[in-house]
Homo-oligomer: A and B are copies of this chain.
């Protein structure tokens, strides 16, 4: 909910007077040919209408009619650990913020840090994703763009989130396993290969690739900006944001 500040109303009144008073003065001069008269009318008008305009602005600020909410969307990045989900998601979120849109970032690693008791069995993963999906849908229904990055390896869980949200854009980060494992930014693949992590997606737990993602990106073959632009384009196609 936004309300206009008094300073905004006043500056707007001033900026309007530049147009308004120049026009009035010009018109009076055009019809009378008298410069002094025209300037006098302009000067009196300047003061009186500054006040009137400000009052008019305050009244309209109370009326919600015609204030349109830009319909948001949930952009859901799915892919292996190390595939580049968070990096591209952050880039996209940043672009939307620059356009003045309200954005919430939800990241698998960060949310899990807050709820460390959640495990990685199929049931626990599915419960976790369905809760995150509910959170995303509540934000979306309140006009917030949600940029979510979660491994979310199971098709059923992603389908559930899609069904919960109004406008859902699935981004499949299809960076090959070999590349993700080579990067191994968090050292997790090495630990999983040594058998230190159970249920690690891509090593000892399956990843079910999306059958019909809205966007597919591969950060091993595209630049960050190339990947990000594809997502923004898809957001534009569903009639949002751009």
Contacts and interface: CB of A to CB of B under 8 A. Distances in A.
Given A56-B15, A56-B16, A66-B11, A24 B45 contact: yes
A8 B65 CA distance: 7
A41 interface: yes
Interface of A: 1-5, 7-9, 11-12, 15-16, 19-20, 23-24, 27-28, 31-32, 37, 40-41, 44-45, 48-49, 52-53, 56, 60, 64-70, 100-102, 104, 111, 114-115, 117, 127, 130-131, 134-135, 138-139, 141-144
Interface of A is mostly: helix
Contacts of A31: 37, 40-41
Contacts of A2: 2, 67-70
Contacts of A70: 1-3
14 contacts: A1-B70, A2-B68, A8-B65, A19-B52, A23-B52, A24-B41, A24-B45, A31-B40, A31-B41, A64-B100, A102-B142, A115-B127, A135-B138, A142-B142
A203 B142 CA distance: 38
**Copies in the assembly, this chain:** 2
A132 to B, nearest CB: 10
A81 B111 CA distance: 30
Contacts of A114: 134
